[in-house]
């Protein structure tokens, strides 16, 4: 196939991608246009069965923003939450709150309203689903146990459902999938999916985030029928077929940092285009470790061992893939099988005996360009490259701006040394300007540019292990009109404006160091900059906020945010319905400031901030199970603008002058451990 024909085929793929991205953008735009403030009411706490004998009766009686606490007992009912009941919290207030469908009732919870929370229920013996979410946003399903769904899925998220949080649930023995996602921008985090008769997790739409789950003993582990999804840090093991299976759809997903072992078929099977498979541990699966049957995938930094049907197999259909710096050992009969030579196989380490050092193997060097050996500049190599080529750049200082246009999509630009420096000398504007799709930029030291270290205006871009320092007028990385960008293991310091500026959707920011930038560590601009996962980053000592979010629908999970001059996290007035979970927020001004609505702030440690631990200026937020201690201007402060917020089961101690201060009485405080408050009754158990 000629380069022209290859590009025509790739252009057709990009047109398909653009259609999917437009649909995603239209969905969020419709939410922005139709969003209305939920009607405020005097908050109340409703008890079941004390106030109402059934959960459904309590829902029918409740107003938006109410909290329904359900005591221990067995409830045989189906509960529908209609669209008029937005922002309800329905919480099991005991260890044995059981919904039992007796094998006859359809669905335990059907959620038709935005921003509903359902937490801590045991749901068993329903027919259609344990929980079904129907075309709404901001739903939070937390800590539920769902088992024995006799005909359907454990959790089902229908089409037009957008931006929901599925956290800490246990789902087993569903007749179909543990969770079925016909939805977009959903975070499926820290759940257990086991013994479901189809997939543990089935992804049928784009832009979802599957993070930190345990997926075991299902028919399939994780199956993705679309693309643009993140599969990160999951334990996928002992499933009866593939661990992770990408059988169809548009591709361009990220599979990062998973443990995939002891599955009965392949560890991973990839039939879609343009995926990045990075830093996974794949071992002891009964067939192949990773099998590739498509084009333009990057297989990098994985450990693949002890398989009985080869370690990595690139089939005859595999074309223009990069297999780079993987470790393979103990696979039989071969560690690496390449059935099509039109791939690039570089610097993989293969251990043939436990008594020998690994040998570095360049099996196929086709499509590799060397700088400066073959081309004196990176830009000249880019101009000469074809689709799917890899550019290896040796140590040296390169004083240039590198532009990668759409016609150069599918390139891998890799620093082949530890001193590969792009230096703008304070005169050049941008180190890498990426206006293309499916490009990887890895390992560069980028310094002394004016506008940005890297700009992104494409789809499926991966920025890995770059160091960006001293951007004199702009941001370290700037995303504009981008979609599905991965930033992993970068270090971004001393940008005059922000560490990262995001004017984009569906962004993954994982394990970066972002510090000492002039304004925000990460800055979201505009009302539709949604769909991010920000996890395991260290965001420190920035001149304003650690993270400033002007939109919402973003997931901030398990980061360290310390020493930022304003807030650790600032949720600016916007769409809201984001999640701030399991972070450490120390030594900022405020740990968290909420000016938008519907956030879930849970499981964080918020200590020693110079003002408040959490400052709430908005409505319908949930503050649950956080540790908030030794902050210098109140632990939690709710201003007169704060209504209908739930403060539940937090440990709020040793703050001064008080642990909780609420100027507005129209909020709910339940089961918090605290010593003093204004007014004083807040710290009493309700």
Residue 352, pLDDT above cutoff 90: no
Please tell me the predicted confidence (pLDDT) of residue 640.
96
Least confident of 234-238, 284-288, 309-313, 524-528: 524-528
Residue 31, pLDDT above cutoff 50: yes
Residue 597, pLDDT above cutoff 60: yes
Please tell me the predicted confidence (pLDDT) of residue 1.
45
For residue 608, what are the CA distances in angstroms to 171, 334, 656? 38, 55, 10
Average pLDDT, the chain: 94
CATH class as words, domain 35-197: mainly beta
DSSP 8-state symbol, 28: H
Averaged pLDDT, 322-337: 95
Q: What ranges make up the beta strands (E) of 217-274?
A: 220-224, 230-232, 235-237, 244-246, 254-256, 259-261, 268-270
Instruction: Quote the tokens at residue 23.
Output: 């649909």
As its CATH architecture, domain 208-365 has 3 Solenoid (2.160)
Please tell me the predicted confidence (pLDDT) of residue 17.
86
Helix (H), strand (E) at residue 553:
none
Percent of the chain at pLDDT exceeding 90: 87
For residues 528 and 505, the answer to whether their CB atoms sit within 8 Å is yes
Q: Does domain 520-686 have CATH number 2.160.20.10?
A: yes
Triad 135, 40, 70: Cα angle to 5°: 70
Confidence of residue 667 (pLDDT cuts 50, 70, 90): very high
Please tell me the predicted confidence (pLDDT) of residue 366.
80
Best CA proximity match to 670, nearest among 651, 647, 652, 653: 647
Residue 558, pLDDT above cutoff 70: yes
Domain at 367-518, CATH homologous superfamily: Single-stranded right-handed beta-helix, Pectin lyase-like (2.160.20.10)
Please tell me the predicted confidence (pLDDT) of residue 360.
63
Residue 13, pLDDT above cutoff 60: yes
Residues of CATH 2.160.20.10 domain(s) within the chain? Answer: 35-197, 208-365, 367-518, 520-686
Q: What is the pLDDT of residues 131-153, one digit of tens each?
A: 999 999 999 999 999 999 999 99
pTM beyond cutoff 0.85: yes
């Amino acid at each position: 196939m000629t380069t022209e024909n290859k590009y025509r085929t790739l252009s057709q793929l990009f047109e398909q991608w653009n259609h999917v991205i437009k649909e995603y953008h239209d969905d969020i735009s419709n939410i922005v246009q139709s969003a209305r403030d939920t009607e405020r009411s005097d908050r109340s706490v409703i008890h079941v069965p004390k106030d109402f004998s059934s959960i459904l009766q309590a829902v029918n009686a409740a107003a938006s923003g109410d909290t329904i606490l359900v005591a221990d007992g067995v409830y045989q009912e189906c509960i529908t939450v209609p669209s008029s009941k937005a922002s309800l919290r329905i919480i099991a207030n005991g260890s044995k709150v059981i919904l039992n469908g007796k094998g006859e009732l359809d669905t335990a919870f059907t959620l038709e309203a935005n921003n509903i929370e359902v937490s801590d229920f045991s749901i068993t013996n329903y027919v259609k689903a344990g929980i079904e979410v129907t075309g709404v946003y901001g739903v939070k399903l937390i800590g539920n146990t769902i088992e024995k769904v006799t005909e359907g899925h454990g959790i089902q998220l229908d089409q037009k459902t957008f931006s929901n949080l599925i956290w800490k649930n246990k789902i087993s023995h569903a007749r179909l999938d543990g969770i079925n996602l016909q939805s977009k921008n959903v975070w499926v985090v820290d759940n257990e999916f086991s013994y479901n008769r189809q997939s543990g997790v089935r992804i049928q739409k784009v832009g979802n985030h599957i993070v930190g789950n345990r997926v075991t003993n299902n028919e399939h582990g994780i199956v993705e029928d679309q693309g643009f999804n993140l599969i990160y840090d999951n334990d996928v093991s002992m499933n009866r077929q593939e661990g992770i299976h990408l059988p169809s759809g548009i591709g361009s997903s990220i599979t990062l940092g998973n443990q995939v072992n002891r599955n009965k078929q392949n560890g991973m099977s990839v039939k879609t285009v343009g995926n990045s498979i990075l830093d996974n541990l794949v071992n002891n699966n009964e067939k192949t470790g990773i099998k590739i049957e498509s084009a333009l995938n990057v297989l990098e930094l994985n450990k693949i061992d002890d398989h009985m049907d080869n370690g990595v197999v690139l089939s005859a259909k595999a074309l223009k893939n990069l297999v780079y710096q993987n470790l393979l050992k103990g696979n039989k009969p071969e560690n690496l099988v390449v059935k099509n030579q039109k791939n690039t196989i570089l610097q993989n380490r293969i251990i043939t005996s436990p008594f020998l050092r690994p040998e570095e193997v360049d099996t196929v060097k086709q499509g590799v360009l060397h700088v400066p050996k073959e081309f004196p500049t990176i830009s000249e190599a880019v101009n000469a490259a074809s689709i799917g080529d890899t550019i290896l750049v040796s140590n040296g200082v390169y004083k240039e701006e590198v532009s990668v246009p759409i016609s150069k999509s599918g390139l891998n630009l890799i620093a082949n040394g530890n001193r590969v420096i792009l230096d703008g000398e304070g005169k050049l504007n941008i180190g890498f300007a990426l206006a293309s799709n499916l490009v990887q930029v890895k390992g560069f030291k980028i310094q002394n540019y004016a506008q940005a270290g890297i700009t992104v205006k494409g789809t499926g871009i991966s920025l890995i292990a770059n160091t960006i320092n001293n951007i004199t007028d702009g941001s370290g990385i700037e995303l504009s009109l981008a979609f599905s960008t991965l930033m992993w293991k970068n270090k971004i310091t001393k940008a005059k404006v922000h560490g990262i500026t995001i004017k984009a959707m569906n962004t993954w920011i994982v394990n970066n160091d972002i510090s000492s930038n002039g304004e925000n560590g990460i800055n979201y601009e505009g009302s539709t900059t949604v769909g991010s996962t920000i996890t395991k980053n260290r965001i420190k000592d920035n001149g304003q906020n650690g993270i400033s979010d002007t939109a919402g629908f973003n997931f901030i999970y398990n980061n360290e945010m310390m020493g930022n001059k304003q807030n650790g996290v600032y949720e600016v007035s916007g769409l809201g319905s984001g999640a701030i979970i399991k972070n450490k927020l120390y030594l900022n001004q405020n740990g968290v400031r909420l000016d938008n609505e519907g956030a879930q702030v849970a499981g964080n440690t918020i200590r020693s901030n110079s003002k408040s631990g959490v400052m709430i200026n908005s409505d319908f937020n949930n503050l649950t199970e956080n540790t908030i201690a030794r902050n210098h201007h109140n632990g939690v402060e709710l201003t007169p603008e704060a209504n209908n917020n739930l403060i539940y089961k937090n440990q709020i101690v040793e703050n001064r002058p008080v642990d909780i201060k609420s100027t507005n009485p129209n909020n709910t405080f339940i089961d918090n451990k605290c010593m003093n408050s204004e007014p004083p009754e807040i710290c009493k158990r309700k």
